[in-house]
Amino acid sequence: MQCRMEHMINYYDNFVTLNRFGGPDYLKGRHAIPHLFHLVHNTLKTVQEPPFRSLITGRELISEDSNVCSNDASQDNAGNARQIHGDAIDSISLVAFSKGCIVLNQLVTELYLLSELPEELQTLYTNFLKKVSEIAWLDGGHQGREGAWITNPNFLKKLLAFLPQLLVTIHVTPYQMHDATRPWIGNECRRFESLCRTAGGNVSFTLHGGDIKNPSIRTHFMALDAYGKSE
């Protein structure tokens, strides 16, 4: 979800820094991983509390012995780690659509730069990120001039070495891939897919509506619909 909107441009300030054209500046920020970590932690904490806990049905999402509801503030960080890294959660799928895909790109960038953090935070975030089993990019694109997809081979090599079992899911449509006014999006996507495969990644790529001559916003949402139906 965007943090704010200015001049028809969505901004995700809590995850990634954008320039005045609405494009991402991935190297300026270092807060996407911490923000995601705390979002997951707070979600787990919330569903442990009434009335949410009583609404959980089917497969147990939260283990009985997780320390989500600790009242001891001094143990909060340790509790956070146990909640997310223990039995409280088995795996995480990260999914983004359209411009939201820049958040996924920011996470990949920050993973590459993780060694810049203090050792304690490196360990905390490493254990958390090891839970990620899938990252799904759904028809990524934005109003900027570059950076819709990660095209730095070192970033992708790091990602796939860090998560060797990761499923890289890509759903795209002509709305982004064949946009004559933004040809760089399609070029970046093809390079992203190629680099992931070269690095040994488990890649699932699907182009929806490839024969559509005049793609519309409806075409764009085909990627989101297809991913939803595949789950």
8 part of a folded domain: no
Interaxial angle between packed helices 153-162 and 183-198, expressed in degrees from 0 to 180 and rounded to the nearest 10: 40
196 part of a folded domain: yes
Tokens representing 164 are: 């060797």
39 part of a folded domain: no
187 part of a folded domain: yes
Q: Report d(CA 173, CA 196) in Å as an integer.
A: 19
Closest CA to 177 of 203, 138, 204: 138
142 part of a folded domain: yes
**Does the pTM of the predicted model rise above 0.85?**
no
Q: Report d(CA 68, CA 60) in Å as an integer.
A: 15
In total, how many domains does the chain have? 1
Contacts of 88 (CB under 8 A, 6+ apart): 44, 62, 63, 66, 68, 82
211 part of a folded domain: yes
| Residue 224: pLDDT over 90 | yes
170 part of a folded domain: yes
Which tens digit of pLDDT belongs to each residue from 144-203? 889 999 999 999 999 999 999 999 999 999 999 999 999 999 999 999 999 999 999 999
118 part of a folded domain: yes
Structural domain for 148, as ranges: 91-230
One-letter amino acid identity for 82?
A: R
